[in-house]
Structure formats: structure tokens, C-alpha cells
């Protein structure tokens, strides 16, 4: 492998591993804040115990997420220095705002929250976790604004061989950024809801702390139901934005090779044949289905992949599989939530539901990871869409350097992943501390 491929593999590995922790941090911070707010308002000790138990899981996840995020950002200088030089005036300012405004805020008040139980008043202590939750979600916003510039560059001018910032507010209010933000947060909140339901289901199956985990399950259920519907609905709107600015990605998402002038069908079963620019199988077609997904019209034309040169198409199979995985799981999650809603008054008498929720914990993680594979792989061969190709962004370093760092980071992340799973499993299995 050359430097380019190794650098892409390293960044993909680091990004996907880091993003295991991010959505649970975003969603669980809000849920823990809600729990503590209910304790402050009602004085019910059960909510205090819920805050401490789920808060401990949140802290474990947060700390591991911070560690993996630090190594990720270093790669912009080590592996992608030409990219950093080309768009650093824009990209660097957004990451700087994220670090100095959001990250330091959430880290500071998380420390106050962890050690302030016996020092701060109940209202002030609850305010700390709300500040952590708000800062965490604001941090995600700045990261996604930076990523949106890579997906749909706006607010820049080309000067002296670089992309320089011309309109800061155009970059911040990039429509694609806010589409991504709503979609990502909805997915993160869904994941947090399923995480709480899954852990609660484990204890309810064993008839442990029944009242505690029944309340927790119902809270996670409501959260997951609302946002699983939202992420599906917003995903349709997001697909239309992708159609507008990255039509080749849309074609790869559905493995559409030929342009359909009178409405493109959507096939429920497709097997792409990328080498021969066709599909092995196209079964169960919905006439005009893809046109409706892209344009809200069954007869609007949709461009096929053959409209672009082969070197400017994204990898079709990986993009296609990532999209189908995300949509498939995204369609299943609301159904599981509806099942839980129907059985919410008889949870301990519903072992099949509880078992399903326990084993469903990985599903939102897989869907979110597939979504990011779709977003990043589907943008190729561009690192900044239409502006800079990925092959032009890699650092002028030797293959052995990247190979060493790839192996080292893989080992490091494997250790961190094992530690995270062990700590989360041990803490979740132990259950809440008795009053």
C-alpha cells in the first residue's frame, strides 16, 4: 500500500473508533441532566440514584472519547499537511473555536459535577450537568460545521494557491452543516435511548432493582421513540440536500448507473457490479421511487453514475452497503420503540421484548457508523468536494512512517476499546448503589 491508502485507513480507523464514544456522550448527557432536574424539582431520591448510576456510565464514555479524539486531530498535521495548508485558514479556525469554547467548558463543568455532590447546592449541581450537556452538543456543532465545509465548501476565496476565509457567517450557516447536525444529534439521542433501554432490560430480566430500571427504561424509550422517528424523517430531507450538492453520491447510494429522464426507480434488492458498471440483480422495483426520495416527485430525472468519469465516482459498493445498512437499521428502531410503548406497563412480563432490547444495543452504533462511512466515502475522490482531491491532500512522508503509526494506533485503540467495554460492562452489570 502507498502513503495515501495507509493514511486513509488510519484516519478512517481513528474516526470510526472515536465516533463510538461521541453519540453516547451527546445523548446520555442530556438524559442525565433531565434525571437530575427531576430530582431537584421533586426531591425523589430515585432520580438522584438514576443520575449517579447513568452519570457514572456517561463519565466513563466521555473520558475514553476525549483520549481517542486527541490523536485524531493530530493527523491533520502529520498525515494530511497539504490539506491543512490548503484550507487551514477555514478549517483551523472552526476547530479552534470548538476547543476553546465548547470543549473547555464541558470539561470544566464536568469536573465540578463529578466532585461537587457535597459542595454545590442541588440547583447549582444540576446546572453543571446542563452546561456539560449543552457544551457537548455545541462542540459537535462546530465539528460538523468543519466537516460540512468539506462536503459543501462555501464562504471562501482562492488566493495564493489556498482556500481562504471570505465570509465566516456563510461557513457557519452552511445549510449542509445544519442538516448534518440535526441528523447526527437525532441519531445520537436515539442511541442513548436504546443504550438505557438495553441496560435496563438486562436487570429487568433478572428482576433486579425493578422500579429503578422500569423508570429508566421508560425514559430511554420515550427519548428513543421521538428521535428514531425524527432521524428517519430528517434523513429524507437530508437525502434531497445530498442530491442537490453531491449527485454522484446519491447515484452511488442506490447503485444507479444510467440516467433516468422520466423518473428513476428504487429497487429493494440490488447487487452492484461495479467492475462492469451495472447491477447483477435488480428486484422489487418501485417505479419513480428514487426520484421521489431525491426530489419529492416520481417523474423528476436522476443522474446515473455513468454521467461522471470513472475517476470522479465514489466507491460504489461501500457507499451502497453503508446506505442500505443505515436505512435498514433506521427503519427497525422505531418498530422496536413502538413494541416497547405497547408493553410499557408490563415490562417484567415481556421477556422477549427485554431480550430484543438487550441485543439491540449495538444496532444504533452500527447505523451511525454506516452513516459516517456513507458521508465520507461517498464524497470521494474529493477531500473538499469539487475543490481538492484526497490524493492531493496527503503529507509528503514515507510509507514506513504511516505504517508504523497505523499499527501503533490500532494497538492503542484496541486497548482503549477493551478498557471501555470492561468498565461499562462492569458498571452497568453492578447496577445502582443502594440508598
pLDDT tens digits, 83-142: 888 888 888 888 888 878 777 888 888 888 889 888 888 899 999 999 999 988 888 898
Q: Indicate whether 103 belongs to any domain.
A: yes
As a whole number of angstroms, the distance between CA 114 and CA 168 comes to 36
| Other CB atoms within 10 Å distance of the CB of residue 405 | 20
| Other CB atoms within 10 Å distance of the CB of residue 42 | 11
pLDDT in tens, 242-258: 888 888 998 888 888 88
| Other CB atoms within 10 Å distance of the CB of residue 99 | 13
CB–CB of 305/319 below 8 Å? no
What is the sign, positive or negative, of the torsion defined by CA atoms of 153, 301, 235, 359? negative
Which band of pLDDT confidence, cut at 50, 70 and 90, is reported for residue 435?
Answer: very low
Is residue 434 predicted with pLDDT exceeding 70?
no
**DSSP-assigned states of every residue in 270-330:** EEEETTTTEEEEEEEEETTHHHHHHHS-SSS-B--GGGS-GGGS--HHHHHHHHHHHHHHH
Is residue 218 predicted with pLDDT exceeding 70?
yes
Q: Indicate whether 309 belongs to any domain.
A: no
Q: Which three cell numbers stand for residue 257?
A: 448507473
Q: Indicate whether 380 belongs to any domain.
A: no
CB–CB of 223/192 below 8 Å? yes
The domain total for the chain is 1
> What mean pLDDT is predicted for residues 249-268?
83
Which residues span the domain enclosing 77? 1-150+398-434
As a whole number of angstroms, the distance between CA 115 and CA 125 comes to 10
Q: Indicate whether 216 belongs to any domain.
A: no
Closest CA to 151 of 372, 358, 351, 422: 372
> What mean pLDDT is predicted for residues 176-186?
90
> What mean pLDDT is predicted for residues 285-291?
81
Q: Indicate whether 97 belongs to any domain.
A: yes
pLDDT in tens, 37-73: 999 999 888 999 999 999 999 998 888 877 777 777 7
Closest CA to 148 of 110, 103, 178: 178
Q: Indicate whether 1 belongs to any domain.
A: yes
Which band of pLDDT confidence, cut at 50, 70 and 90, is reported for residue 429?
Answer: confident
Supply the pLDDT for residue 240.
Answer: 83
Supply the pLDDT for residue 130.
Answer: 93
Amino acid at each position: 500500500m502507498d502513503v495515501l491508502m495507509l493514511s486513509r485507513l488510519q484516519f478512517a480507523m481513528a474516526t470510526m473508533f472515536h465516533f463510538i464514544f461521541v453519540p453516547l456522550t451527546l445523548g446520555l448527557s442530556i438524559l442525565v441532566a433531565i434525571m437530575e432536574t427531576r430530582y431537584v424539582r421533586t426531591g425523589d431520591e430515585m432520580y438522584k440514584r438514576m443520575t449517579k448510576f447513568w452519570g457514572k456510565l456517561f463519565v466513563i464514555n466521555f473520558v475514553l472519547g476525549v483520549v481517542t479524539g486527541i490523536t485524531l486531530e493530530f493527523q491533520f498535521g502529520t498525515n494530511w499537511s497539504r490539506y491543512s495548508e490548503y484550507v487551514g485558514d477555514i478549517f483551523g479556525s472552526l476547530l479552534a473555536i470548538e476547543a476553546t469554547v465548547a470543549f473547555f467548558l464541558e470539561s470544566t463543568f464536568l469536573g465540578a459535577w463529578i466532585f461537587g455532590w457535597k459542595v454545590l447546592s442541588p440547583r447549582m449541581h444540576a446546572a453543571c450537568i446542563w452546561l456539560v450537556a449543552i457544551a457537548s452538543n455545541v462542540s459537535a456543532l462546530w465539528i460538523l460545521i468543519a466537516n460540512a465545509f468539506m462536503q459543501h465548501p462555501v464562504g471562501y476565496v482562492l488566493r495564493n494557491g489556498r482556500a481562504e476565509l471570505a465570509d465566516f457567517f456563510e461557513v457557519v450557516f452552511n445549510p449542509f452543516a445544519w442538516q448534518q447536525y440535526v441528523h447526527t444529534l437525532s441519531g445520537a439521542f436515539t442511541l442513548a435511548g436504546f443504550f438505557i433501554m438495553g441496560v435496563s432490560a438486562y436487570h429487568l430480566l433478572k428482576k433486579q432493582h425493578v422500579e429503578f430500571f422500569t423508570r429508566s427504561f421508560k425514559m430511554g424509550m420515550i427519548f428513543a421513540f421521538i428521535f428514531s422517528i425524527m432521524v428517519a424523517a430528517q434523513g429524507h430531507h437530508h437525502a434531497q440536500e445530498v442530491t442537490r450538492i453531491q449527485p454522484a453520491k446519491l447515484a452511488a447510494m442506490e447503485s444507479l448507473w444510467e440516467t433516468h429522464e422520466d423518473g428513476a426507480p428504487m429497487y429493494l434488492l440490488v447487487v452492484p457490479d461495479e467492475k462492469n458498471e451495472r447491477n447483477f440483480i435488480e428486484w422489487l422495483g418501485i417505479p419513480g421511487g428514487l426520484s421521489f426520495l431525491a426530489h419529492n416527485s416520481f417523474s423528476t430525472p436522476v443522474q446515473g453514475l455513468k454521467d461522471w468519469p470513472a475517476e470522479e465516482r465514489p466507491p460504489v459498493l461501500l457507499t451502497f452497503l453503508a446506505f442500505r445498512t443505515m436505512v435498514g437499521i433506521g427503519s427497525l428502531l422505531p418498530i422496536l420503540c413502538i413494541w416497547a410503548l405497547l408493553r410499557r406497563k408490563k415490562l417484567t412480563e415481556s421477556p422477549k421484548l427485554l431480550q430484543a432490547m438487550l441485543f439491540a444495543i449495538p444496532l444504533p452504533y452500527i447505523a451511525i457508523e454506516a452513516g459516517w462511512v456513507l458521508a465520507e466515502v461517498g464524497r470521494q475522490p474529493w477531500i473538499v468536494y469539487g475543490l481538492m482531491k484526497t490524493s492531493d491532500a496527503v503529507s509528503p512522508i514515507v510509507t514506513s512512517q504511516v505504517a508504523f503509526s497505523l499499527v501503533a494506533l490500532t494497538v492503542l485503540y484496541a486497548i482503549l476499546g477493551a478498557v471501555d467495554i470492561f468498565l461499562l460492562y462492569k458498571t452497568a452489570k453492578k447496577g445502582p448503589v443502594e440508598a
